[in-house]
Amino acid sequence: MRLKSAKYIFLLLLFPFPLYAGGFIQVRSAIQISSTISDGKYSLYEIAETAKENGIKAVIFTDKGFMRWSYGLWPLRNIIKKTVENNSIFQYGIKHYLDNIEKIKRDFPNMVFVAGVDSSPFYYWRGSIFKNNLTICNWHKQLIAIGLDKPPDYANLPVIGNPRALRNGLDIFKLWPFITLFIGLFSLKLRMYSYRDSQGRELAPHSKALRTTGVIIIVLSVLFVLNNWPPLKAEFDAYHGDLKSVPYQNFIDYVNKKRGLAFWTHAGAENVSRRGRIKIETKRYPQELLYTHNYTGFTIFPAGYKEIGSPGGIWDTILKEYCSGKRKHPVWAIGTLAFDQQGDLANRMRNLSTVLLVRKLSKKEVINAFKKGRMYVMKGKNSASFLLDKFFIKDDISKEQGIVGDTVKLAGKPTLYIKGKFLDMPRKIELKIIKNGKIIKVYDVNTPFEITYDGDKSFSGKSYYRLEIRSSGLNFVTNPIFVVRK
């Protein structure tokens, strides 16, 4: 096993920046790793060292932004409540987190490190603590955001664990306890009847029952004032059931406003567990990719291929919506490690990576590759030794061409150029060319291979092509190249 690992590491270090078509270089990235700052196993520095040893050139840290859960009893949910909070970026210190990542860059000058955040925008409670069936739902329905560089961008993330960011304007209905407080105070001074003593002085004794009632009203009013303070509207809370896509679209819109990139993660995975008496339940949520808009991409590996990324699946539906003008932006596929405590980080990095196509190794170029879809995803024990040397589309008349993420304007017919190999030894592969969600051509070839495919020129509007490659120990998916008739 050590010899096999050493072989892969040698190959990765031998070819750190393989060339790609169009003058781009290939950079292997590791996405979605938590450190000890939140719920991770390793420190930021240890993660960087492991990445360097395994040929990873870009690391996207995504520690948990907020790890805070609260359950309160009605009607005083903000007073009679229990709150549990674990390590997170917010608890650690946002500026400290960003500063630590900047320091790591100085120790690893030939690598790129990008700060990100793993967020659960919403959860809701179901059941009752008194019936022993209390359940926290959708905590693992998550997105990651990358490219947020300013502490206020993190501090104001609109997620349910960050209630200050969800406050939106004055809620006058929360001021009602002040009315009852006034009534209680007034009742203490209210006298039931009056009479005159022998000297003619008017006397008005208090009613003991009325005085007791006033004290009770005052105490309850003060409790509700504290419970309702500050008297501001909340965009949502955890006590009114499933809000469907609303909190997640709200998160996506916020990230876009801050010029970050939002990715759905692990929409095909179900997560059910228990923590003491509390059940934690998140069902699969692939349909959310259809219901939400303007996010950058989604995780295709390890838990997003079957329902989302396979030919004709949800991803192709979304891409066709983009081609028809129903969506403003396409959606890109990435691979995420989702690494916190479990497993072997080095092995995970070797077996799953997103390869970015950049002009040079820089943070700006890395983020630009994510934004424009200039990447492909590969997983499997032999994925580290596979290289896609080129995949581009060229117009046979205008000679205009483009790589993954690009749009090629056609005057004639599109021609696909595909070339790849394994660095260690030849293997047989199955290569599928997918157009608009349909498999239009399958090749069974040995590596190294070079394929030229002439596409159909008799179409109008916008279409796209993408690739899938399968081999022993390799699952490989590219992002699409779009073509449009001039």
CATH of the domain at 339: 3.20.20.140
Check if the beta carbon of residue 135 is closer than 8 Å to that of residue 278.
Answer: yes
Across all residues in the chain, what is the average pLDDT?
91
Q: Please report, for the domain that includes residue 427, its CATH number.
A: 2.60.40.10
Task: Give percent of the chain above pLDDT 70.
Answer: 93
In this prediction, residues 9-32 reach a mean pLDDT of 77
Compare 186 and 38 and report the one with higher pLDDT: 38
In this prediction, residues 351-379 reach a mean pLDDT of 97
Looking at residue 407, its pLDDT comes to 97
Looking at residue 288, its pLDDT comes to 98
Please determine, for residue 293, whether its predicted confidence score (pLDDT) is greater than 90: yes
Q: Are residues 179 and 113 in the same domain?
A: no
pLDDT per residue over 261-289, tens digit each? 999 999 999 999 998 889 999 999 999 99
Q: Are residues 388 and 481 in the same domain?
A: yes
Looking at residue 457, its pLDDT comes to 77
Q: Are residues 114 and 202 in the same domain?
A: no
Looking at residue 147, its pLDDT comes to 93
Q: Are residues 351 and 266 in the same domain?
A: yes
Domain with 197, as residue range(s), is 172-230
Looking at residue 5, its pLDDT comes to 47
Q: Give the residues across from 224 on adjacent strands.
A: none
In this prediction, residues 112-130 reach a mean pLDDT of 96
Q: Other C-beta atoms within 10 Å of 10: how many?
A: 13
Q: Are residues 160 and 255 in the same domain?
A: yes
Looking at residue 342, its pLDDT comes to 87
Give the confidence band of 1 by pLDDT, cuts at 50, 70, 90: very low
Phi and psi, residue 465, nearest 5°: -125, 145
Boundary-marking domain end, from 359, 379, 399? 379
Across 16-30, 97-111, 305-319, least confident range: 16-30
Q: Are residues 238 and 226 in the same domain?
A: no
Helices (H), 258-395: 288-291, 314-324, 345-351, 363-372
Check if the beta carbon of residue 146 is closer than 8 Å to that of residue 261.
Answer: yes
Q: Are residues 373 and 410 in the same domain?
A: no
Looking at residue 430, its pLDDT comes to 98
What's the pTM value of the predicted model, to 2 decimals?
A: 0.91
Boundary-marking domain end, from 330, 349, 379? 379
Q: Are residues 139 and 74 in the same domain?
A: yes
Q: Are residues 181 and 246 in the same domain?
A: no
Q: Which of 127-131, 162-166, 472-476 has the highest mean pLDDT?
A: 472-476
Q: Are residues 94 and 124 in the same domain?
A: yes
Boundary-marking domain end, from 343, 360, 379? 379
Looking at residue 208, its pLDDT comes to 66
Check if the beta carbon of residue 469 is closer than 8 Å to that of residue 431.
Answer: yes
Q: Are residues 419 and 308 in the same domain?
A: no
pLDDT per residue over 432-447, tens digit each? 999 999 999 999 999 9
Check if the beta carbon of residue 437 is closer than 8 Å to that of residue 423.
Answer: no
pLDDT per residue over 32-54, tens digit each? 999 999 999 999 999 999 999 99
Q: Are residues 32 and 177 in the same domain?
A: no
Looking at the 3D structure of the chain, how many domains does it have? 3
In this prediction, residues 329-357 reach a mean pLDDT of 95
CA distance 254 to 295: 11
Give SS3 for 236.
coil
